[in-house]
């Protein structure tokens, strides 16, 4: 008898048939990743939490439209991207809300706090597009092609945003690293 | 000398063969080596930022309107496979009426026995999966804070 772990595609299939418990299990697998992506993008804990809930509700409502269950991650982050930028557009001008992420919680800083805070500040200094490119590549591990699908832009744009961001981060983090 | 795309190399956006030739290039090119070292320091710094737990768990409650009807549930894979199996047994029994009644009965019993065994195995797998899912879900629900 062969036992196998219940995979996302099984849960997606069950959720499509109206199984809310299966969908809740799927949410529990992805909520931390989505929340952290949104937290670093919108830089506000409550907003990130609210948007996360909206993302998973929209995902549930649109699950029948997902063509390929194997592409669930990219599809989910595309919804998250759209919801986040919808919020950011409503919130303009940027900068009225200060960074309220790790500094507010004080949790999760396993390595020297100064460096974590410096990273937080350096990420905050990037444009939203540049920051998102770093979040999707460095923290979420998406490939350039997947990022291009999530962001609905050419791969060359994705690379340009990421490379510029890495150059800026290198400069802004250099003094912290040299300490 | 043609330099490589050091950033693509650093973030793992190269095929295995490209990676090998890039590694060879970096070993012999000081400019690329320096650039790579700088990017790696930046990536290491970025890695110090840890994921946070969400302040609340996200969970949805069942909406009866969206739940499948009883007749939809009947068309589950388990039920459908049981119907197909039952039909096959019946067809087999009817199509082979030549032998005596005892032989037919033995054959049917054998077929039914096999089918029951298969279904029991299948049921056990489904029960295990169900149990595993319930445990995971229960653990997740335990953490929900409202």
Helix (H) or strand (E) holding A125: helix A113-125
Q: Considering chain A, tell me which residue range(s) the CATH 1.10.1740.10 domain(s) occupy.
A: 1-100
CATH topology of domain A107-179: Arc Repressor Mutant, subunit A (1.10.10)
Q: What angle do CA A174, A177, A178 make, to 5 degrees?
A: 85
A20 to B62: CB separation less than 8 angstroms, yes or no: yes
B42 touches chain A (CB under 8 A): yes
B49 to A107: CB separation less than 8 angstroms, yes or no: no
Q: Give the closest of A17, A108, A144 to B68, CB-based.
A: A17
Q: Per-residue pLDDT tens for A145-169?
A: 999 999 999 999 999 999 999 999 9
Q: Which residues contact A56 (CB under 8 A, 6 or more apart)?
A: A27, A30, A31, A34, B58, B60
Chain B residues touching A32 at Cβ < 8 A:
51, 53-54
pTM over cut 0.90 = no
* Domain A1-100 classification at class level: mainly alpha
Task: Identify whether the C-beta of residue B45 lies closer than 8 Å to the C-beta of residue A172.
Answer: no
Q: Which residues contact A156 (CB under 8 A, 6 or more apart)?
A: none
Least confident segment among A91-95, A106-110, A119-123, B36-40: A106-110
Take residue A158 and report the two structure tokens written for it: 């994705």
A111 pLDDT higher than 60: no
ipTM above 0.85, yes or no: no
B51 to A102: CB separation less than 8 angstroms, yes or no: no
How close B62 gets to chain A, by Cα (Å)? 6
How close A117 gets to chain B, by Cα (Å)? 8
Choice between A97 and B38, residue whose per-residue pLDDT is larger? B38
B48 to A170: CB separation less than 8 angstroms, yes or no: no
Q: pLDDT class for B143, splitting at 50, 70, 90?
A: low
Q: Give the closest of A18, A138, A174 to B67, CB-based.
A: A18
As to burial, measured by CB atoms within 10 angstroms (0-12 exposed, 13-18 middle, 19+ buried), residue B45 is buried
Backbone φ and ψ for A4, nearest 5 degrees, come out as -140, 155
The residue of chain B nearest to residue A19, with distances taken between CA atoms, is: B67
Q: pLDDT class for A140, splitting at 50, 70, 90?
A: very high
């Amino acid at each position: 008898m062969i036992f196998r772990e219940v995979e996302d595609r099984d849960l997606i299939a069950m959720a499509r048939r109206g199984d809310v418990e299966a969908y809740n299990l799927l949410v529990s697998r992805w909520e931390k990743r989505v929340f952290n992506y949104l937290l670093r993008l919108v830089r506000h804990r409550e907003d990130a939490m609210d948007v996360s809930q909206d993302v998973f509700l929209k995902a549930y409502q649109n699950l029948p439209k997902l063509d390929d269950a194997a592409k669930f991650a990219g599809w989910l982050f595309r919804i998250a991207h759209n919801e986040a930028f919808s919020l950011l557009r409503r919130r303009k001008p940027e900068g009225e809300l200060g960074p309220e992420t790790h500094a507010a919680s004080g949790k999760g800083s396993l390595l020297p706090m100064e460096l974590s805070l410096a990273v937080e500040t350096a990420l905050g200094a990037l444009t939203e597009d540049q920051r998102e490119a770093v979040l999707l590549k460095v923290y979420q591990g998406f490939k350039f092609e997947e990022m291009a699908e999530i962001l609905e832009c050419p791969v060359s744009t994705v690379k340009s945003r990421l490379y510029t961001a890495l150059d800026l981060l290198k400069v802004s983090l250099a003094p912290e690293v040299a300490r | 000398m043609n330099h490589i795309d050091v950033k693509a190399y650093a973030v793992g956006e190269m095929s295995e063969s490209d990676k090998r030739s890039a590694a060879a290039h970096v070993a012999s090119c000081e400019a690329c080596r320096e650039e790579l070292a700088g990017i790696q320091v930046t990536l290491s710094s970025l890695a110090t930022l840890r994921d946070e737990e969400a302040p609340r768990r996200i969970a949805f409650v069942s909406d009866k309107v969206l739940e499948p009807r009883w007749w939809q549930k009947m068309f589950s894979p388990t039920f459908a496979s049981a119907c197909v199996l039952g039909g096959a047994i019946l067809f087999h029994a009817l199509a082979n009426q030549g032998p005596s009644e005892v032989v037919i009965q033995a054959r049917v019993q054998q077929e039914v026995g096999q089918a029951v065994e298969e279904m029991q195995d299948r049921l056990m797998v489904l029960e295990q999966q169900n149990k595993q899912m319930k445990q995971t879900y229960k653990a997740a629900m335990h953490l929900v804070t409202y």
